[in-house]
């Protein structure tokens, strides 16, 4: 199994004016979804494209943007590869960008190669494009993906007619429509719309194919959707706290998750603590929710380095550890002689939370009680997050062959994790509490990281 899958964001626009700068702004607002690569493609008598290895603000120049004429275009940020990709075809020049992961990529590539298809690097985006281009028009090609690939995708396709946008039939990856005066937009998260003073219209439905052109939004095909299966990890970690994903505000979800942790502590009579603090940045909403429920004082105990990247979405373990060390430094004055409830979104490998607990105790903390918004991660993700193998998952190292089937088993795991990371106690949300906090039907969520069930296998 690959140790890293793609984690990325897409942005597309059709408007009445030159669009390159607005795409530049849009993908900058999606930078948290991938910090390794970025790219823009526009259409003006053909596709014009610029991609970079690096972040949006530090990579794109005024000269780059001047070289991207056209009133419609697409943009992308990624952890793994340069996108958009540009192709010459019987449909004319096109460009494509997507967010997600193809689980059956190896078998699809092998089949295509046996039929004479050639690949540059074998990226998932190449496979998707070749499937689309085997059909007579973009709509038929995008529709063919649903019956061919296993996995998750939100994608945008740039053509001479406009931009096509589509979401997989389960809605695993987010995609949302917005508009402003004379312009129509689709992107991975609503924050890119809100921060550009654009109006949110609605989420793209699972299995929906939408065209953006001078008529606005047109649903050109609605594929049957067996069920919704939105990635629950979006609300716990991936998405920005100022986004709304499929009708649920990310900040509300994180407040609820933190409140559930506080409720459990209240019911179980502990711990004695002086303050609640987050592991920035993704732990902030959870810690505030814990504070609002418990009324325990909220206090920052780490200074966040705004110039650092998200450590979880680095491409290697060495890079993750280096970034984690750069990202946070302890506020010694706030920590000394304090008993701290420390809230985080999840524990994956355990290395980073071990270091944070150690740093707090070295700075004089009397006790550190770790509270984790997500249940113990038991299965690798197949659908697009910077993911893990079984061997990397801390909880799986403890329960090597089984799953958590009771609160008693969860408590045993928590005691073991606390011992491993040097914390005075550890508590996770149970899966039932996690789902209840999101306030969405369990059948509308992908919970594969916790229960091992793929939506397409139900």
* 343 labeled part of a ligand binding site: no
* 374 labeled part of a ligand binding site: no
Query: Most distant CA pair in the chain: distance in Å?
Result: 70
User: In DSSP terms, which residues pair with 47 in a beta bridge?
Assistant: 43
* 187 labeled part of a ligand binding site: no
Q: How far apart are CA 450 and CA 445, in angstroms?
A: 12
Please indicate whether residue 343 is annotated as part of the active site: no
* 344 labeled part of a ligand binding site: yes
Q: Read off the tokens for 325.
A: 């060390």
| Residue among 8, 38, 187, 374 flagged as catalytic | 8
Q: How far apart are CA 328 and CA 452, in angstroms?
A: 32
Q: Read off the tokens for 206.
A: 């699972």
* 19 labeled part of a ligand binding site: no
Taking the CA of residue 432 as centre, how many other CA atoms within 13 Å lie in the half-sphere pointing to its CB? 6
Residue positions forming the annotated binding site for Mg(2+): 282, 344-345
Residues labelled catalytic: 8
List the binding residues for [4Fe-4S] cluster.
Answer: 231, 381, 446, 449
Binding site per annotation, positions: 231, 282, 344-345, 381, 446, 449
């Amino acid at each position: 199994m690959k140790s890293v899958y793609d984690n990325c964001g897409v942005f597309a626009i059709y408007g009445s004016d030159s669009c390159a700068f607005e795409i530049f702004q849009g993908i900058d607002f999606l930078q948290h979804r991938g910090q390794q690569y970025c790219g823009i493609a526009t259409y003006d008598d053909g596709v014009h494209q610029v991609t970079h290895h690096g972040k949006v603000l530090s990579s794109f120049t005024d000269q780059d943007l001047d070289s991207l004429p056209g009133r419609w275009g697409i943009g992308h940020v990624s952890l793994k590869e340069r996108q958009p990709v540009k192709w010459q075809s019987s449909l004319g020049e096109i460009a494509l960008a997507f967010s997600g992961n193809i689980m059956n990529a190896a078998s699809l590539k092998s089949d295509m190669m046996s039929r004479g298809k050639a690949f540059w690097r074998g990226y998932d985006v190449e496979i998707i494009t070749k499937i689309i281009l085997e059909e007579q028009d973009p709509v038929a090609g995008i529709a063919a993906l649903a019956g061919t690939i296993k996995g998750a995708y939100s994608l945008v396709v740039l053509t001479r007619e406009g931009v096509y946008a589509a979401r997989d039939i389960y809605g695993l990856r987010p995609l949302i429509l917005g508009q402003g005066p004379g312009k129509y937009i689709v992107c991975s998260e609503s924050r890119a719309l809100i921060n550009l003073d654009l109006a949110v219209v609605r989420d793209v439905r699972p299995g929906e194919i939408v065209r953006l052109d001078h008529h606005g939004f047109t649903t050109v095909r609605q594929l049957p959707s067996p069920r919704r299966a939105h990635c629950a990890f979006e609300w716990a970690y991936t998405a920005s706290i100022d986004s709304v994903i499929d009708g649920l505000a990310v900040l509300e979800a994180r407040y609820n998750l933190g409140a559930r942790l506080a409720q459990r502590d209240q019911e179980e009579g502990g711990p004695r603590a002086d303050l609640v603090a987050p592991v920035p940045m993704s732990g902030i909403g959870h810690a505030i929710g814990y504070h609002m429920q418990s009324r325990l004082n909220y206090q920052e105990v780490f200074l966040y380095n705004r110039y650092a990247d998200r450590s979880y979405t680095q491409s290697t373990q060495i890079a993750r550890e280096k970034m984690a060390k750069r990202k946070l430094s302890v506020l010694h004055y706030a920590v000394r002689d304090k008993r701290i409830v420390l809230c985080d979104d999840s524990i994956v490998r355990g290395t980073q939370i071990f270091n944070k607990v150690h740093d707090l105790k070295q700075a004089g903390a009397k006790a550190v009680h770790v509270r984790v918004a997500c249940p113990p991660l038991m299965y690798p993700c197949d659908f697009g997050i910077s993911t893990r193998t079984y061997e990397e998952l801390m909880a799986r190292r403890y329960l090597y062959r089984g799953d958590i089937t009771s609160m008693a088993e969860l408590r045993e795991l928590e005691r073991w994790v606390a011992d491993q990371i040097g914390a005075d106690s550890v508590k996770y949300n149970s899966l039932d509490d996690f789902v209840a906090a999101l306030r969405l039907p369990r059948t509308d969520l992908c919970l594969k990281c916790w229960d091992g069930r793929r939506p397409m296998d139900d």
